[in-house]
Amino acid sequence: MINNKKIALITGASKGIGSAIAIQLSKDHDCHILINYKSDIKGANTTLDEITNQGGSGEILQFDVSNKIEVDNALNSWKEKNPNLFIEIVVNNAGILKDGLMMWMPESDWDDVVNTSLKGMYNVTQSTLQEMLKKRNGRIINIASLSGLKGLPGQTNYSAAKGGMIAATKALAQEVAKRNVTVNAIAPGFIETAMVDENNPTVLSGMIPAGRLGKPTEVAYLVSFLASDKAAYINGEVININGGLYS
């Protein structure tokens, strides 16, 4: 029965950090997990299997976070089927990389990256925020990036998207704090995911004071804490998790 459970929506939860977050929230908080994916149905099912194998519950929601109509249709449909429930925890994790120097960057590469992370955060958050405010309870956790704080060459689009997400986190946190809704961001550095594997992990490890890449589960532990009652007074913060690479 999911009626007694908190509901958590994680976007881009078919692999990597998103999958780890979905599994950890189920394990730590006994949440019913809404696993969002855009195209990787196999990965989404793998995440769901991991959750159910450990005794948790979840379901899969397919939509493109950058498409407002798709987001609203999917989430409104879920709400109609579950009128007594509301999505209490939202983790805006979906993101893509299309790296390249600005001078040669196609407009589509800029738009795709910004629309996935930044507009995707707007689309999903706006669709779930009203119920949080009505219930006077909610956690919004935005997965930003080192790129959004420091800026990385070859990632002007990604840096802009994640930097915008960070600024939006700080502003929204002030709008909703009185309703017991917190909004925080996490800025991972280099984490062991398919995104980083496209680069040279050995070279990247040499740049990091900790001498290694981070693990998706380490990001998930932090998300789990921010989603808990123990983090109720943390709001509008951006927390780095990068092995000492940048502070």
Residues assigned a catalytic role: 158
Is the torsion defined by CA of 44, 49, 54, 58 positive or negative?
Answer: positive
Nearest to 12 by CA among 238, 210, 242, 195: 195
b/e burial code for range 108-138 (CB count within 10 A of at least 16 → b): ebbebbbbbbbbbbbbbbebbbebbeeeebb
- Rounded Cα distance, 9 and 20, in Å: 13
Nearest to 56 by CA among 129, 18, 7: 7
Nearest to 144 by CA among 108, 115, 169, 179: 169
- Rounded Cα distance, 214 and 204, in Å: 11
Is the torsion defined by CA of 209, 210, 216, 220 positive or negative?
Answer: negative
- Rounded Cα distance, 62 and 8, in Å: 15
Structure-block tokens of residue 54: 């450990």
Amino acid at 115: N
